[in-house]
Amino acid sequence: MDRPVRRTGDNLAARLLIVLTLAALVAAPAAVAAPPARGPAPAPAPAGATLPPDFPSDVPLPPGDLQAASGAGGSWSVLLLVRGSAAATHASIVAFYRAQGFIAETDSILHNAAHRVTIVVENRDHSATATFAAIGVTDRSAATPAQPAAPVTHLAASLTGARPGRATLTLTAARLCWRFDGLAGLTGVRSATVRHGTTRVTLGRRFHRSGCRATPAPILRAIAARPAVWTVTVATRAEPRGAVRGRLRPA
């Protein structure tokens, strides 16, 4: 007796597909023909089982009796009753779609240019000769929508003091990146910071002309919201409180 086929490439949605489809059939039992009393052949297709009007024409169905179909607007599910074991049914459906030009993503998911199919099979009533095959079809263009890009803030500061220079800062959702230009002849540089009042962000453990560091989001938002109250300071051994400094502004 065949056991349900479990494929390692199935994602959670694929594993739930057949459960949800079968649940829909249980909720409408009149749509499914009763199993035959004897013999290995599957029952004939239920009367009135048809594909949704907008089911994609570039996704053919493999051989089998259509039991139910539903969906619209980029996502559809089809339940077939196929003669044969679960393993043989799975293999034959995969081979069918490969022959139609679909490309395999996993052992149970394939796609063509416009659509993706997910295949899940389950023995019918523990039968070794009749298998339910659930086929999920999704529009590839309607997959996970692109997430909006995290905001990026560009700031700059003109540095004055012992030597002139310029600091450029780039703030993202969780990182602060910097670059220092100029400062020719400034020696004994120890550190660089961005500060406002008692809040200070050190630009690297030691002074580097450019780099990035993880920074708490509230501080990044505060800098982006009011850059003019934040000061970039470069300290040296001779002037630990700051040899050069400058207020931030939008770059």
Structural domain boundaries enclosing 240? 153-250
What per-residue confidence (pLDDT) applies to 3? 45
Residues 85 and 112 in one domain: yes
Q: Is 51 helix (H, G, I), strand (E, B) or coil?
A: coil
Ranges of H-type helices in the chain = 12-27, 86-99, 217-225
In angstroms, the Cα distances linking 69 to 22, 92, 126, 136, 236 are 11, 20, 23, 10, 73
Mean pLDDT, consecutive 10-residue stretches, the chain (251 aa), reads 43 45 40 38 58 94 92 90 91 95 92 94 79 92 60 92 93 91 91 92 89 90 94 93 94 87
Classify strands 249-250 and 165-171 as parallel, antiparallel or unpaired. Answer: unpaired
Is 64 contained in some domain?
yes
Is 56 contained in some domain?
yes
8 A C-beta contact, residue 233 and residue 180: no
How many Å apart are CA 210 and CA 158, to the nearest integer? 16
Residues 132 and 186 in one domain: no
In angstroms, the Cα distances linking 219 to 47, 65, 201 are 65, 62, 9
Residues 111 and 172 in one domain: no
Residues 27 and 87 in one domain: yes
CATH code of the domain containing 16:
3.30.1370.80
Number of domains in the chain: 2
Domain final position from 142, 161, 179 = 142
Is 222 contained in some domain?
yes
Is 67 contained in some domain?
yes
Is 3 contained in some domain?
no
Residues 76 and 183 in one domain: no
Q: Which amino acid is at 92?
A: S
What per-residue confidence (pLDDT) applies to 223? 94
In angstroms, the Cα distances linking 109 to 112, 115, 122, 139, 142 are 11, 11, 16, 13, 16
8 A C-beta contact, residue 248 and residue 228: yes
Q: What confidence tens digit (pLDDT) does each residue in 47-83 have? A: 567 899 999 999 999 999 999 889 888 899 999 999 9
Is 132 contained in some domain?
yes
